[in-house]
């Protein structure tokens, strides 16, 4: 199985941890390091377009989108969170590749850090496990 990780650089103090959690979960499931490829994008808004493009190349069995949005003083948070969620879902529906949503939408950096800790509470880990399970299911269809 080959898995692509699409990782937003914005708030990389969080997304780097999400990527580590995702990568660890995939390694634990027997996926070789060489079969886990990371693609970096500027922010959460770009995740969907990158995920769809990577999925359309048909060399990956699953795509995991990882990002972090922290609420600020304007509605920008809401606009980007909505666009990222809807875009990732549309990309998943448009391709024959499972694409999972590992984008944190939090009120504070502290809340984001709590979801990017080492271990089973890491949301990047959860998104990778979901991608692995979906790719496994797709393989049985």
Q: Which of 28, 76, 86, 89 is catalytic?
A: 76
Whole-number percent of the chain with pLDDT over 70: 100
76 is catalytic: yes
Domains in the chain, ordered, with CATH? Answer: 3-140 (3.40.50.960)
Q: What is the pTM of this model?
A: 0.97
Q: Give residue 25's pLDDT.
A: 98
Neighbour-count burial of 15, counting CB atoms closer than 10 A to its CB (0-12 exposed, 13-18 middle, 19+ buried) = buried
Residue 140 has pLDDT above 90, yes or no: no
pLDDT digit string (tens) for 68-85? 999 999 999 999 999 999
Mean pLDDT of the chain: 97
pLDDT at 58: 83
CB atoms within 10 A of CB 9: 13
């Amino acid at each position: 199985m080959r898995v692509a990780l699409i990782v937003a650089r914005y708030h990389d103090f969080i997304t780097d941890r999400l990527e580590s959690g995702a990568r660890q979960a995939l390694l634990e499931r027997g996926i070789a390091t060489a079969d886990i490829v990371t693609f970096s994008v500027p922010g959460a808004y770009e995740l969907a377009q990158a995920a769809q493009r990577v999925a359309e190349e048909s060399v990956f069995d699953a795509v995991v989108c990882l990002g972090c949005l922290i609420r600020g003083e304007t509605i920008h948070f809401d606009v980007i969170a909505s666009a990222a969620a809807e875009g990732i879902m549309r990309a998943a529906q448009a391709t024959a590749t499972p694409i999972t949503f590992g984008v944190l939408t939090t009120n504070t950096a502290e809340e984001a850090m709590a979801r990017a800790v080492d271990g089973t509470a890491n949301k990047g880990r959860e998104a990778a496990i979901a991608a692995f399970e979906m790719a496994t299911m797709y393989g049985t269809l």
